[in-house]
Structures are given as C-alpha cells and as structure tokens.
Amino acid sequence: MGWFDDDFYSTKVKRKTRREFRLGRRGSYEFGSRDRYGPMFKVALVSSLASSLVVAIVFTLFAGHGGTGSGSSRVVSTAPIVETSERTVTASAKIRPAVVSIINRTQQNVDLDDEESLENASLGSGVIFRKEKGKALIVTNAHVLEDAAEVQVVLVNGKMLPATIVGKDTITDLAVLQIDATGIDTVAAIGNSETLQEGETVIAIGNPLGFADSLTSGIVSNLHRTIPISLNQNGVYDWEEEVIQTDAAINAGNSGGALADLDGKLVGINSMKIADMGVEGIGFAIPINDAMPIVEELIASGKVLRPYLGIYSMNYASYLDSLKQQQMIEEDPDAQKIPDDQKIDELPVPDDVKKGVLVLEAVGPAKEAGLKLNDLIVKFDDQTISNTIEMRKYLYNHKKIGESLTISFYRDGKLQKVAVKLTEKNEDSE
C-alpha cells in the first residue's frame, strides 16, 4: 500500500472515467474515439479559457488592493521556502567558527603539571564578536572566569591561545577576554534579541562537558523570564536577571556560549539552566541587547561603574519569619531551646510595617551618613523599598555616582530621613 490511499493521489483512473486515446494520422494524440465529441470539446475549451481569465482578473485586483478595499498594496513574496533544518545548517556554519572553548585555571591548579592542571581546570564557552588592532575580543560569562589565574582559549580548529581578561561584571554575569587575532577569520554577527518571538527556533553552541564545538537546537520559550540570583552564592536572593528562556539543551560548559537565530546572528549569551531531578529543557540566556552595553563599558573601563551605598543587609520579611520560628520553639515544651546568645531581639518597629531592608552593617557612604545596625530602610527618595532586590535595582537603574540619595528608615520605632552621597562601587564592595 502506498502513502496515499485515495483517488486524489492515485495514479490510477477509475474505469468509468477513463478516456480512450489513439494515435492520429499525423502522429498527434487525439482525444476521444468519435467525432461527436468535437463540439463538446470546443465548449469545454472555451469555458476553461473564460474561467482562467476571470481568476486572473480577480487575483490581480486582490494583489493590488490587499483584498481590503483600502488601496494599500501587498507584495506577494516569490522567495523560495527553505526548510528549518536547512536554515539551521546554514546558520550554524556562519557562527560556529566564532564560538570558542575557555579553560580557566585557578592559582591552585596552575602550580600543577600541565596534564593535572588541565584535568582540574574549569571549562566554559565564549563568542568572538570583534577584531580590532590585531586583537580579537570574546564575550563570556563572569562566572566562567571565577578565581582565574590563567585563562586559555581554544579555537574551533583546536588551536590554543593565551587570553587576557579585559573586564568582568558579577552583577550581569558578563566578561570580556582578549586574544591575538592572527588566523581568526570569523566574527559573530550581532543580532537583535528584541525581534525574537516565542516559539522561534534558536541554536545553542558551546563546550558542554568538554565536548567542544557542540550544537543543540530548540525554541524560545519565554522572552522576558525574571530569575532571582544570589550574588554571594549564600542562598539569599539579592538580584534579579531578565533572561531568554529556551529548551535548547544547555549543560555545564555551555556558559558563555552563543544563542543564535536562524540567520546565524548572536541573540544571547547562554548563562544558566535549572539542574534538578525531573527538570529538562529549561535553559537561560542573557539577551544580546542587554549584554552589549555592558560589554562596551567593560571594554572602555574594565568594569561597570555603579553607585555604592555601603550596607550589608537582609530582608525584613526574612527577619520576621525567623522571629516567628523562634517564638514557636520557645512555646514548644518539647523543643530544644535556643541559646541566649543566638536569640533574635525583637525590634521596635510599628506593627503595620512588614517589609523593608534591615541594616546589618554600615560602611563607607552609609556609615558616614549615620546609618547603623538594625535601622530598617523603607524608602529610597520617594520609592518604596520592600527588599534587597528592589534596593539594588533602584541604586543601579536610577542613581549615578556622585548623586545624593534620601533614605527613609525606622530607628527605635521612629521614622527618620538621611541624605547619603553615593560613591563609586568597587568590584569587591557590597
């Protein structure tokens, strides 16, 4: 049985509809077996020509006016339809030579011999995005270069080159490397992440698990997924990152690699995935439109200049949860009691205040302005501050170095205000 089982696709013709063909005297095929079919054939021919003419006129009218009567024209594309698989092959061929593997040797394994050093090194990926002044610039993730003492880059052809860190930023998890550009011919074309659509096919290229030059594909699952981040890796979320979610496979070592569209253009930097039992197909990439301004600042300054307030803090809501748990333990006769030196003191704050940022330590500008332990910050200027994420976002998105910030806070149950002059934020500062 063939793929198609109906008369429409069959090459056979039903017996009752079969016409007889015979070879005429002059070598041409004649339709029919009797002359009486001649007039019927002429009528059919005229009708067919008339119908074709009507269809052509109607098509011309609709093509010219868009079928809306508004007078606007619509261009009918004559471009050939290309299969997605063919576009994936073409796109990967364009950008793959620009994707590199990154070997990060910390000081601890730099002192080992070459073989042991390589085995103990951490691996990541990067993308060559520019060549200038005999150097090639590579964008990657900042966490790929964590504690780096020596960095090497492996090109797609296997050539290994020493790399210099131009700059990195832990907040956005972006970094820029520099290598010698000799022999490097391919630079990734920068795309536009704002034109991506959910459901659009994308490809991820990198060095997962040490398998260099690996390619996976998937779709864009979400264009503006907000992911909470713990910058200090202490389990406390103190930043949020807006990322592209994709189901293209991203594994350890893919970090810093390319997320590309089917035109072979760089639309994101693969950054992280959810790695948990039973979780599949949830990976994230930094949108290239968000990444490039940071990259340019790293090239210009070696770091991202941000205003610095100078406080170590915790969410007031977390403090209230801890206080509640302490009270439950104290009321439970069977529970092990908390030592006095580990108990949390209840702060004199109005009962209707449930959110804010509690100061654990003030240094730098905050200390100079008079902030101190257990001050509860509730506003920056006229903006309500509910947690540390909102605090950072307001500082980094709305204030500049050298500007003054008015802080509203509770101390000893009373609402007070103080002005703080913001200074430059150092890489190691909170």
Residues known to be catalytic = 143, 173, 255
Residue partners of 106: CB distance under 8 A and separation at least 6 = 121, 122, 147, 148, 149
Whole-number Å distance between alpha carbons of 43 and 385: 84
Residue partners of 247: CB distance under 8 A and separation at least 6 = 218, 219, 221, 281, 282, 283
DSSP, residue by residue, 173-204: TEEEEEEE-TT----PEE--GGG--TT-EEEE
User: Which residues are registered as beta bridge partners of 99?
Assistant: 127
* Short-list 118, 159, 158, 125, CA closest to 141: 125
DSSP, residue by residue, 61-122: HHHHHTTTTS--------PPP--HHHHHHHHHHHHGGGEEEEEEEEHHHHTS-HHHHHHTSE
Whole-number Å distance between alpha carbons of 173 and 290: 12
Whole-number Å distance between alpha carbons of 69 and 261: 37
Cα distance between the two ends of the chain: 72
Q: Which helix (H) or strand (E) segment is 269 a member of?
A: strand 265-273
Give the three-class secondary structure for 413.
coil
Residues 358, 360, 362, CA angle at the centre, nearest 5°? Answer: 105
Whole-number Å distance between alpha carbons of 173 and 405: 26
Rg (CA), the chain: 34
Whole-number Å distance between alpha carbons of 120 and 353: 50
Exposed / middle / buried, residue 402 (Cβ in 10 Å: 0-12, 13-18, 19+): exposed
Whole-number Å distance between alpha carbons of 37 and 312: 98
Dihedral over alpha carbons 179, 180, 182, 188 (to 10 degrees): 30
